[in-house]
Amino acid sequence: MAHVVTAAETLEDKLTQELGFDDHFHEHHEGDKFQSNFLTTYIFSTDHKIVGRQFLITGIFWAIVGAAMSIVFRLQLGFPEADLAWLRPLLGKWIQVNDAGIGKLDPEFYYALVTMHGTILVFFVLTAGLSGTFANLLIPLQIGARDMASPLLNAFSYWFFFLAGVVMFLSLFLSTGPFSGGWTAYPPLSALPQASDGSKAGMTMWIVGMALFVVSSLLGGINYITTILNLRTKGMNMWRMPLTIWAILITAILGVLSFPVLLSGVLLLMFDRSLGTSFYLSEIVVGGVALDRIGGSPVLFQHLFWFLGHPEVYIIILPSMGIVSEVLSVHARKPIFGYRAMVYSILAIGFLSFIVWAHHMFMSGVNPFISNFFVVFTLIIAVPSAIKVFNWISTVYGSNFRFNSASMFAIGFVSMFISGGLTGIFLGNSAIDIQMHDTYFVVAHFHIVMGIAAFFGMFAGVYHWFPKMFGRFMNETLGKIHFWGTIIGAYAIFWPMHYTGMAGVPRRYYSIDNFDSFRHFVELNQFITVAAIVVFFLQILFVVNFFYSIFSGRKMTTKNPWGSNTLEWTTPIKPGHGNWPGNIPSAQRWPYDYGKDGEEFVPQYVPLKEGEHDFGH
């Protein structure tokens, strides 16, 4: 049955009928075999909106697990004398209870927690949970597509991620514990089961989990790129794409180019572990036994790892940058400042991210001469980053800024990105890195710039697009408590770490009491731990708000509650499979015509007036 043309009720409907793209879409409500029961609708769905929500909720689960781990090791750091026996029901033998009944965290498990915290937050939350959610939700909706180029691959992408999570989760219950050699998994520690308990079965499961994760990431990434390049609606040329889509496109390209390198890196590590090869091993004596492995280099793994690892931090931060650009512009009621500069700086950051990896390795024994190149390229990244920051600030300038949870988190993102980005200028300069490398200064830097900042971008996105995802709003009051508590708390946690870092305190220390030079930070460490606990509970508040609002939040009554220009807000309040019931609206202009010619906003489907300039061009 052909689509029935009904009388247009609004300008939007009229324009969509006249100018939109008619792909003879057949809408199935009842007879859709793919959405006929609960299981196919909500679990094994191929609908990009469901897959996006699956990524988000799985990401939330992992964020809670990863954050809870950080609370346990923060307790050890802040209150090393405290009795942790009450954690025994949860952690079992990893809490050693002495004769006096005082429970202590096992150092081996401390390192396992640190390692899993990093792996989970970097990969499962800020890569899958962030990119997976917003790429899936926003790509088809904002470029005007019925779904992803391959909905099936898309669903596979989620299920491989799910499987990776299952494997990683199970590794927590091994008798030898999960992997404990740091999220960077440097060999020989990660290659030698004799060197550490965590490098036994825990490491094998870590590798299997990461391999599954890379598969997930590649399936998703190829799909995102294909969809963005091929399925844009009529008139949606590249310079009319919202910055979210630009950011996601570059993110996906970075992922597709760099994740295979990680996969090959960990596969070679697997060979070293199980097949007796020597890619990363040479002249090793462990447990008094001289191994028969010659000629490999541990530094090779670091190159392979950071060839992913550095783009990875941009894989994490770019989607947040895109989200923040969009959210700031919508709520400032003002175009994003310097749209093209924003796109070019994303491209520049994406390109540069591939030629700076060895700035993680200044102190790893690579030839100091090589470091010269990496210092130059690393500090060049400050230029496009600075452009982005100044453009965000300029977007707020002269605006009519609506304060709500989404826009406030966007502002918070910019603040975090400034604070954390500037400390990168210290660390990227190899001369300063001699002292700062592997100290708490580094911990402060990357947590602020890609941990907290990326989370803030994610929160901005969740508060902003929650109505699109669930047809309801999140509670604003709780959202604001969440924002103010988190920004204050996050700075309280990470700002003091700059000082301990300057004092030279190394990261990844189970205890700093052994060293007279490091141990004078008792109160500071207690303060950080208390702040971490408070921030953790504020995130629980967010989770409560999230799930409460799914079921009982304020209902969305209009299609476009934020007065936004982008196409996702032209879909019905509860969009079905295929997103638009009739024609797909076309893109007639760039997405940032806010406050133009006296209009509060001019959506993308509205054609240009006679002689009107399209600012994307």
Partner 1 sequence: MTAIIILLCVLLITIVLVQIGKVTELTAQIKGEREVLRDNSKWNGWLSVAFMIVFLVGVFISAWEYKNQMMGYGPHTSASAHGGALDDMFNLTLILTGIVFVLCHIALFWFAYKYRWQEGRKAQFIAHDNRLELIWTAVPAVVMTILVVRGLNAWNTVMADVNPNEDYIEIEATGQQFNWIIRYPGPDGKLGARNYKLTGANNQLGMDFTDPKTWDDVIPGQEIYLPVGKKVRVRITAKDVLHNFYLPHFRVKMDAVPGMPTYFIFTPIKTTSDYRNELRKYDEYNLPYDDAEPTGAKRWEKFEYELACAELCGKGHYSMKRILKVVSQEEFDAWYSKQESFYLTQVRGKDEDPNKDKVLDIEVRQRAREFSENVKKAVESTDVADKTLTLRHINFETGSATLTANSRYELDNLVTALNAFPGIVIEVAGHTDNTGDPLENQALSSARAASVVKYLTDRGISEGRLRPRGYGDTKPLAPNDSDENRAKKPQN
Using the minimum distance from each CB to partner 1, give the nearer residue, 34 or 484.
Answer: 484
373: tokens are 């190149």
Judged by CB under 8 A, the stretch of 229-237, 319-327, 461-469, 479-487 that binds partner 1 is 479-487
Question: Considering only residues 310, 334, 359, 447, which one is a binding residue for partner 1 as defined by CB under 8 A?
Answer: 334
- Angle at the Cα of 318 from the Cα atoms of 312 and 320, rounded to 5 degrees: 120
The least distance separating partner 1 from the CB of residue 426, rounded to whole angstroms, comes to 5
Judged by CB under 8 A, the stretch of 47-55, 102-110, 162-170, 460-468 that binds partner 1 is 102-110
Burial status of residue 275 (CB atoms within 10 A of its CB: 0-12, 13-18, 19 or more): exposed
Interface with partner 1, residue 296, by CB under 8 A: yes
Judged by CB under 8 A, the stretch of 45-53, 178-186, 258-266, 444-452 that binds partner 1 is 178-186
Interface with partner 1, residue 397, by CB under 8 A: yes
Using the minimum distance from each CB to partner 1, give the nearer residue, 80 or 576.
Answer: 80
Interface with partner 1, residue 107, by CB under 8 A: yes
Question: Considering only residues 340, 574, 609, 617, which one is a binding residue for partner 1 as defined by CB under 8 A?
Answer: 340
User: Long-range CB contacts (< 8 A, 24+ apart) of 441-445?
Assistant: 441/497, 441/498, 441/501, 441/502, 442/501, 442/507, 443/494, 443/497, 443/501, 443/507, 444/420, 444/494, 444/495, 444/497, 444/498, 444/501, 445/420
- Residues numbered 232 to 271 that lie near partner 1 (CB under 8 A) are none
Kindly state the number of chain residues that form the binding site for partner 1, as judged by CB under 8 A.
131
522: tokens are 């008792």
Question: Considering only residues 382, 469, 550, 556, which one is a binding residue for partner 1 as defined by CB under 8 A?
Answer: 382
> What is the Cα–Cα distance from 375 to 334, expressed in whole angstroms?
37
Alpha carbon of 123 to those of 149, 453, 522: distances in Å?
A: 24, 16, 32
Interface with partner 1, residue 526, by CB under 8 A: no
Using the minimum distance from each CB to partner 1, give the nearer residue, 117 or 334.
Answer: 334
> What is the Cα–Cα distance from 393 to 567, expressed in whole angstroms?
25
Judged by CB under 8 A, the stretch of 53-61, 106-114, 202-210, 249-257 that binds partner 1 is 106-114
103 bridge partner residues: 97
Interface with partner 1, residue 484, by CB under 8 A: yes
Using the minimum distance from each CB to partner 1, give the nearer residue, 107 or 576.
Answer: 107
Judged by CB under 8 A, the stretch of 39-47, 64-72, 365-373, 572-580 that binds partner 1 is 365-373
Using the minimum distance from each CB to partner 1, give the nearer residue, 19 or 387.
Answer: 387
Using the minimum distance from each CB to partner 1, give the nearer residue, 354 or 548.
Answer: 548
Using the minimum distance from each CB to partner 1, give the nearer residue, 196 or 251.
Answer: 196
Residue at token pair 């700076």 = 356
- Residues numbered 27 to 46 that lie near partner 1 (CB under 8 A) are none
> What is the Cα–Cα distance from 538 to 517, expressed in whole angstroms?
34
Helical ranges in 275-381 per DSSP H:
298-332, 339-352, 368-380
Question: Considering only residues 103, 504, 581, 582, which one is a binding residue for partner 1 as defined by CB under 8 A?
Answer: 504
Interface with partner 1, residue 528, by CB under 8 A: no
Phi, psi for 105 (deg, rounded to 5): -75, 130
Using the minimum distance from each CB to partner 1, give the nearer residue, 248 or 414.
Answer: 414
- Residues numbered 114 to 143 that lie near partner 1 (CB under 8 A) are none
To the nearest 10 degrees (0 to 180), the angle between helices 48-78 and 133-143 is 150
Question: Considering only residues 67, 167, 411, 449, which one is a binding residue for partner 1 as defined by CB under 8 A?
Answer: 411
Question: Considering only residues 102, 347, 481, 556, which one is a binding residue for partner 1 as defined by CB under 8 A?
Answer: 481
> What is the Cα–Cα distance from 205 to 299, expressed in whole angstroms?
23
Alpha carbon of 579 to those of 138, 391, 463, 496, 567: distances in Å?
A: 11, 33, 21, 47, 11
CA atoms in the 13 A half-sphere facing the CB of 176: 15
Interface with partner 1, residue 379, by CB under 8 A: yes
Bridge pairing between strands 285-286 and 103-105: unpaired
Interface with partner 1, residue 426, by CB under 8 A: yes
Interface with partner 1, residue 277, by CB under 8 A: no
The least distance separating partner 1 from the CB of residue 516, rounded to whole angstroms, comes to 7
Interface with partner 1, residue 286, by CB under 8 A: yes
Interface with partner 1, residue 284, by CB under 8 A: yes
Burial status of residue 331 (CB atoms within 10 A of its CB: 0-12, 13-18, 19 or more): buried
Using the minimum distance from each CB to partner 1, give the nearer residue, 232 or 334.
Answer: 334
350: tokens are 């994406």
Question: Considering only residues 423, 560, 588, 604, which one is a binding residue for partner 1 as defined by CB under 8 A?
Answer: 423
Interface with partner 1, residue 371, by CB under 8 A: yes
> Cα torsion for 140, 144, 150, 154, to the nearest 10°?
0
Question: Considering only residues 229, 540, 572, 609, which one is a binding residue for partner 1 as defined by CB under 8 A?
Answer: 540
- Residues numbered 432 to 471 that lie near partner 1 (CB under 8 A) are 432, 434-439
Find out whether 133 and 58 touch, Cβ atoms under 8 Å.
Answer: no
The least distance separating partner 1 from the CB of residue 23, rounded to whole angstroms, comes to 32
Judged by CB under 8 A, the stretch of 4-12, 59-67, 216-224, 280-288 that binds partner 1 is 280-288
> What is the Cα–Cα distance from 48 to 138, expressed in whole angstroms?
9
The least distance separating partner 1 from the CB of residue 182, rounded to whole angstroms, comes to 5
> Cα torsion for 247, 251, 254, 257, to the nearest 10°?
-130
The least distance separating partner 1 from the CB of residue 455, rounded to whole angstroms, comes to 18
Burial status of residue 397 (CB atoms within 10 A of its CB: 0-12, 13-18, 19 or more): exposed
- Residues numbered 552 to 571 that lie near partner 1 (CB under 8 A) are 554
Q: Which among 486, 450, 135, 451 has a CA at the least distance from the CA of 323?
A: 135
- Residues numbered 573 to 592 that lie near partner 1 (CB under 8 A) are 592
